[in-house]
Amino acid sequence: MYIESLFPELNEISDTALREKVINVFLRAMELGEWDNIEGIPFTLLIEDCPINLVAHTRLTTQMAQKIGELAEQITKINKDFLVAGALLHDVGKLVEYSRSDKGNFLKSQLGDLFRHPAIGMHLCLSEGLPYEIAHICLAHSSEGNKLKRTPEAWIVHHCDFICFELAKLR
């Protein structure tokens, strides 16, 4: 119930089996990152005094993606379940990429030095049996996707993520 309480957007995923797998990815990432809760994790380590945390950023990116996804239907077919699941999971790898020092500072984990969160997110999605299309959104949401042929859902999440990032930097 913890993950559901943080991310009400999970209810927008119509496929209940898919929704469960998305929750399981979050729980697995929490386990790997050894987090008791995730509310205090920053959205990024690249912006000092960032105005939003990771949970808020994830929700905002998902809400933006849903709205753009509705409009984008005029251009191309959008799989709404994939879009919402991918948006919710796009940064889940940060739960493994980041860790907390004894002093309470957030920093890169040992694993985070080896793999960035897009790759970790892709791995977690595939490990939990999520569709390749959702793993692709995780991998391709950041610069890792620049050499890939992004799906429509991945393009939407990629841009929504960067809108959040660029606007947060302006503060």
Residues lying near Fe ion in the complex (CB under 5 A) are found at 91, 161
- Specify the residue for token string 């970790």: 120
At 135, the amino acid letter reads A
Nearer to Fe ion, 10 or 52 (CB): 52
Nearer to Fe ion, 75 or 122 (CB): 122
Q: Which of 21, 42, 60, 34 is nearest to 164 (CA)?
A: 60
Cβ 119 to Fe ion, closest distance in Å? 14
Nearer to Fe ion, 16 or 40 (CB): 40
- Specify the residue for token string 């949970």: 55
Cβ 57 to Fe ion, closest distance in Å? 6
Are the C-beta atoms of 157 and 110 separated by less than 8 Å? no
Give strand pairing partners of 53.
42
Cβ 113 to Fe ion, closest distance in Å? 19
